[in-house]
């Protein structure tokens, strides 16, 4: 005999997705739908304990001010590419194909404002490189297409 409860079930609040564009050096643009991790708790949780990330989605970690960043893959089941982004929105370092569940430290190599995590292989598949520009409201550069 199955018994169903009519009591409300508490589910975690859905994080709204925001659009983000990466302008490649060749003028092409790649779009992602991203969750924003902009406080200590959301940055600490990141993509941990998830088993999939829809194609074209990602997570943008906003540190508000440039600083050295170290990340790891503890409790993260999804292989990722990590794009480290300076305060102006330029990609300054990329780490591809991170190892799920690893405690190995992944270092920004220099102070960064943000980190974009996307599915492993995405940066290569879309031709993303150091020097490409990430356009999003946190960089105050949406709608601007000036060259570096």
The ranges assigned to domains in the chain are 18-139
Please say whether the dihedral angle defined by the alpha carbons of residues 65, 66, 68 and 69, taken in this order, is positive or negative.
Answer: positive
Question: Which pair of tokens denotes residue 20?
Answer: 């983000």
* Integer CA distances (angstroms), 80 to 11, 22, 63, 114, in order: 26, 17, 19, 15
Q: Measured in whole angstroms, how far is the alpha carbon of residue 64 from the centre of its chain?
A: 14
Q: What is the DSSP letter of 90?
A: B
Give the global pTM. Answer: 0.87
pLDDT single digits (tens) 40-67: 999 999 999 999 999 999 999 999 999 9
Q: Which CATH superfamily groups domain 18-139?
A: Protein of unknown function DUF192 (2.60.120.1140)
Write out pLDDT tens, residues 61-94.
999 999 999 999 999 999 999 999 999 999 999 9
């Amino acid at each position: 005999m199955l018994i169903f409860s009519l009591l409300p079930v508490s589910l975690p609040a859905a994080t709204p997705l925001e659009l983000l564009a990466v302008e490649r050096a060749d003028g092409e643009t790649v779009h992602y739908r991203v969750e924003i991790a902009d406080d200590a708790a959301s940055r600490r949780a990141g993509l941990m304990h998830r088993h999939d990330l829809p194609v074209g989605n990602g997570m943008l970690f906003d540190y508000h001010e440039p600083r050295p960043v170290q990340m790891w893959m503890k409790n993260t089941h999804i292989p990722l590419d990590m794009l480290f982004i300076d305060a102006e929105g330029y990609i300054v370092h990329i780490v591809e194909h991170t190892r799920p569940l690893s405690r190995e430290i992944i270092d920004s190599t220099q102070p960064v404002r943000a980190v974009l995590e996307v599915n492993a292989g995405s940066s290569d598949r879309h031709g993303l490189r150091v020097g490409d520009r990430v356009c999003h409201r946190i960089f105050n550069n949406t709608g601007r297409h000036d060259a570096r």
